A and B are shown apart, each in its own frame.
Chain A
Amino acid sequence: MERVITKNKLKFQFSELMKERMIIAIRWFCMSLFLYTAYAKIIDHDRFLKGLTRVHLISGFAVFLSFAVPIVEIIVVLLLLIPRIAITGLYCFITIMTVFTIYIISAMTWEKKLPCSCGGAIEKLSWSQHIWFNLTYISIAIFALWLNKLNTSFKNQQNEKF
C-alpha cells in the first residue's frame, strides 16, 4: 500500500494485485457467511420454520420464506464463487443483507419477543449486535465494489495510454 499526495489531496493507493486479492478475500468472506447460515437453515429446517411462524410480521409467508431464504443464499454463494459473475454476486449480497437488516429493524419495532432463526452461532448475537454485524458485512461488500471500480478505471486508463 502506498500513500500518494496529489495537488493537496491525500489518498491511499493499493497495487492492482493487492486490490484483486482484497476483492477475492471479501467475496470469500461473504460467501462463507451465506453458506454457513444456509446450511444451518437447511439441516434444522423445522426450527427455522417455527422461528419464522412466531414473527407475526411474516408468519403468513413462513413456509415460503423457510425454503426461499436458504435457496437465495445458496444462489448468491454460487454467484460469489464464480469469478466472471462475482460482482453481480456482491450486488445481490448487499441487497439481501440490506433486506435482512430492514426486516430486523421493523421486527424490533413491531414484535415484543423476537426469536432469531438466523442459523448457527449468529443466533447468539443480540438484535442490536445483529444489526451492526449486518452493517459491517454490507460495508465490506461495498468496499469490494469500490475497489473493483478503481481496478476497472485503472485498466481503462492503461488501455487509453497504449
Chain B
Amino acid sequence: MKNFKQITLGLILGAMVIGFSAFTNAPKRATGDVYANELGNGSYTLLANPYTPGDCASASIPCAFEVTAAGASHVTGGTLSSSQITTDLNNQWIEQEGSTNGVYSGD
C-alpha cells in the first residue's frame, strides 16, 4: 500500500513535469542552427547537416547565417527571406557564419 502510494504520487509528479515541459519546449531554433544560401536568390534555408564552408561558391552574398543565443527563441521556420535576414541581423538574432560568400551546394 505504501509502495502504491509512492508510485501514484510519483506519477502525479511526472504528469506535472510533462505539463511544465510543454510550456518550455515550444518548437524553436537552437543556438548554432545554420541557414544557408542554397537557392541563390537571397533566401536562406535551414541546414539539416553540418555546415561546410568549402561548399560555398560563386556569389557575392554571405553563404550562411548562424542563429545566436539571443535569436534562439525568435528565429523560426525552415526558410528566411532576405527581409527577414535583414531584420534578424539588426536584432543580432543571427550572425554571418564565418566570412565566406557564395551559393551553398552542401545538404
Contacts and interface: CB of A to CB of B under 8 A. Distances in A.
A121 B14 CA distance: 17
A54 interface: yes
A126 to B, nearest CB: 9
Contacts, number: 76
B6 interface: yes
A59 B50 contact: yes
B10 interface: yes
A23 to B, nearest CB: 11
A32 B50 contact: no
A35 interface: yes
A50 B33 contact: yes
Interface in B4-35: 6-7, 9-11, 13-14, 17-18, 20-21, 24-25, 27, 29-33
A28 B13 CA distance: 8
Contacts of A31: 10, 13-14
B17 A115 contact: no
Contact of A39 (B3, B21, B33, B48): B21
Interface string A27-57: 1100110011001100110010011011010
Contact of A120 (B14, B24, B72): B24
B25 A120 contact: yes
B50 A39 contact: no
19 contacts: A27-B10, A28-B9, A32-B14, A35-B18, A36-B21, A44-B25, A47-B27, A53-B48, A54-B50, A59-B50, A77-B14, A81-B7, A83-B2, A83-B7, A114-B32, A117-B30, A119-B25, A120-B24, A120-B25
